[in-house]
Amino acid sequence: LSRSNMLRHLVQRTARRLVPANMAHSHAASSSTSQKKLLRGVVFDMDGTVTVPCIDFVEMRRRCGVTQGDILDVINAYPPEKKAAAYKAIADMEDEALVNMRLMPGAVGLCAMLDAAGVPRGLITRNVMRSVEHFHAHHIVAQGVAPFQPSISRECAFAYKPSPDALLHICATWGIPASEAMMVGDSVKDDIVCGNRAGAVTCLIDFEGKQGYSLEQLEGERRPTFIVRSLTELSQLLQDRFELAAPPRPQAAIEAVQG
């Protein structure tokens, strides 16, 4: 079995083990009075999703000498010296971005809404953990908001997006099937493909409609379940279209697994 299939099996087994015997009946009863889909966890990308876009990825590819293909895949195939130089170029740009990092409008309100409903928030980024820690310290905790847990960077043990491994791990941590989670991000090829491969609900953030995406133009595993133009719009979507509920695994257990 591939690692993704093993994680998917673990998610399904863990979710079945943690669901109380009477839960299926209660959900069936609620579905008879509401068409809302059950959602018990939301996982976010970081750059361009919960923070305002400030990294010039075209310039990053130029500095790294990557003209086509996934930039990390290409760099990882470089000879050691060239690979180190390319990652240094990426690190320099990521450090520059920390100075200009700003929280996406609507992020605090969205986090507060999910927290009030008991719905956990996770984070998966192709950035490094240093940037995640800066984001939490200066833009999340500083606003009186709890950090995203779990938070997974490209330095962690899981294959980076679009692999679904990190997302499946988070779902297993929460004790829910991927179908009861939403993956939110601004990249079709990374975030949406990751979520679709895991079997999650997917939502594409097209900030202020600048990319002009529509569902009709996106096909296969690149097609999201939803497209929104802002986190405020996402917050409304979650409240209108989903039954938001806490996962069966208590927050203390989630923090213990994360720690």
CA dist., res. 136 & res. 89, Å (int): 24
Contact (CB, 8 A) for 122 and 148: yes
Which amino acid type is present at position 30? S
Alpha carbon 69 to its chain's center: 22
Q: Is 45 a catalytic residue?
A: yes
Nearest residue to 129 (alpha-carbon basis) of 144, 147, 102, 146: 147
Listed in sequence order, the residues at least 6 apart from 169 whose beta carbon sits closer than 8 Å to its beta carbon are 7, 150, 152, 158
From 47, 186, 190, 191, the catalytic residue:
47
Omega cis (within 30) before 162: yes
Active site residue ranges: 45, 47
